[in-house]
């Protein structure tokens, strides 16, 4: 049996985490042979709700779950952790400007970055889910200089999944028939879902769909899918975001299938003319807890 893996989750009493934690405990993130300890971080006002989540996790009697630790202090929550999912972030409130949201979350992720720098295991893998995810990931990484920048990423798997599902529906196939979608950029309406390298049943995707649909419907549909979910259900994506976070970490740690890639926002080294230091979504292969940029993809004028 593998040694115990310490997994920290922030915002652990929130909606996304409620859809995530039980699946982690069941082994869906790191595999059916990996015992885990859950270190759950929340703000003091949410600790009672977090106790209820912990009670349900205990009542699930998950064989892989060795223990559960509840913390309101990031320094304690991140001590010796191997995997971290930073789900918690301040939501945008009524009348709040984007710059106010950025400032509020900057304080949270500066603190968490410093706590990771001081207390996390050197090989820790950190996924930022809380929005604005790319910005929060960059702040966290820069506040943790002891740790490799390669150990930080922001979640683009939800956008990758949305693009894959939209293409599959248009082509009339299951999602398993779609491969090679790329999400470039930021988890926001500025992201670019690229189909120029995608395939459907092994054939170029752009031979299965017309360019007008791609330009005028597909791209904005993926970019604005989060807002569409909020309009339909009255609250933001939770279960699909949790699923994407789990898939992101599982792929990162256990690897992509041969000849396949996924989209991850990682710290740029300047490849594809992306400004170095930005946390930017690119196509990557994953193997044994590491990622490698898929290089050599041709970006045409439209994609640029």
Cβ-based neighbour number of residue 173 at 10 Å: 14
Q: Which residue in 169, 240, 258 sits closest to 205, CA to CA?
A: 169
Q: Map 125-176 to HEC letters.
A: EEEECCCCHHHHHHHHHHCCCCCCHHHEEECCHHHHHHHHHHHHHHHCCCHH
In this structure, the strands spanning 125-128 and 83-86 are parallel
Residue listed under structure tokens 């930022």: 128
- Point out the residues that are catalytic: 187
Do 80 and 122 meet the contact criterion of CB atoms below 8 Å apart? no
Collect all residues with Cβ–Cβ distance below 8 Å to 171 and sequence separation of at least 6.
Answer: 177, 178, 200, 205, 208, 209
Distance CA 280, CA 275 (A): 9
Collect all residues with Cβ–Cβ distance below 8 Å to 227 and sequence separation of at least 6.
Answer: none
153, β-bridge pairs: 127
């Amino acid at each position: 049996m593998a040694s115990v893996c310490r997994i920290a989750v922030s915002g652990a009493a929130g909606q996304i985490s409620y859809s995530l934690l039980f699946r982690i405990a069941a082994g869906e993130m790191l595999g059916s042979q990996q015992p885990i300890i859950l270190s759950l971080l929340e703000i003091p006002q949410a600790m009672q709700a977090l106790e209820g989540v912990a009670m349900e996790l205990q009542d699930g009697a998950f064989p892989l779950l060795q223990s559960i630790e509840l913390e309101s202090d990031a320094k304690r929550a991140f001590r010796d952790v191997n995997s971290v999912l930073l789900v918690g972030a301040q939501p945008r409130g009524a009348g709040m400007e984007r710059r106010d949201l950025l400032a509020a979350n900057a304080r949270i992720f500066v603190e968490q970055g410093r706590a990771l720098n001081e207390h996390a295991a050197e090989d820790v893998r950190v996924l930022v889910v809380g929005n604005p995810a790319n910005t929060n990931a960059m702040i966290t990484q820069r506040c943790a200089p002891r740790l490799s920048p390669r150990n930080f990423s922001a979640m683009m798997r939800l956008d990758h999944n949305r693009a894959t599902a939209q293409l599959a529906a248009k082509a009339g196939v299951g999602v398993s028939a779609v491969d090679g979608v790329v999400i470039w950029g930021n988890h926001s309406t500025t992201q670019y879902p690229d189909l120029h390298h995608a395939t459907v049943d092994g054939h170029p995707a752009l031979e299965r769909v017309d360019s007008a649909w791609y330009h005028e419907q597909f791209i904005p549909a993926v970019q604005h899918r989060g807002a569409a979910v909020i309009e339909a259900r009255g609250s933001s994506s939770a279960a699909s975001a949790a699923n994407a976070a789990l898939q992101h970490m599982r792929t990162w740690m256990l690897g992509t299938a041969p000849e396949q890639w996924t989209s991850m926002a990682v710290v740029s080294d300047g490849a594809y003319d992306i400004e170095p230091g930005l946390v930017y979504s690119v196509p990557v292969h994953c193997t044994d807890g590491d990622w490698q940029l898929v290089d050599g993809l041709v970006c045409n004028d439209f994609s640029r």
